[in-house]
Amino acid sequence: MTEVSTELIVRDNPGSGSYDAVRGSRVVGRLSYEAQPGQGQAGPHFVIRSTVVDPQLRGYGIGSELIRVALDDIRAKGATLTSYCWFVDEYIAAFPEYADLVARRPGA
């Protein structure tokens, strides 16, 4: 395994529709989403598509930190989410304090 020593920064990148995990000058993880405007009284909505971490850096908690920061930011924006990413689904199952962010999928 590669040693990870540089601080991890997670930032929203609306231009690419992603939250990026950056170490140094390198993107080492990405959570991809589609932002949708709110309708009526509802706030904005995020459709989470996938989470990817550099294979050489898996096992260091980068994906979990990426998801945590993204979910905290989604909450701060007053938004809801729909996830099509198994990793995000498992994270929310492990940390049910984020379950209130999840909107019902149409037809569910």
Instruction: Write the burial class of residue 25 (CB in 10 Å: 0-12 exposed, 13-18 middle, 19+ buried).
Output: exposed
pLDDT in tens, 58-100: 999 999 999 999 999 999 999 999 999 999 999 999 999 999 9
Helix (H/G/I), strand (E/B), else coil: 22 = strand
What is the distance between the alpha carbons of residues 12 and 70, in angstroms, rounded to a whole number? 8
Percent of the chain residues topping a pLDDT of 90: 81
Quick one: average pLDDT of 37-57? 86
pLDDT at 48 over 60: yes
Q: pTM for the complete prediction?
A: 0.86
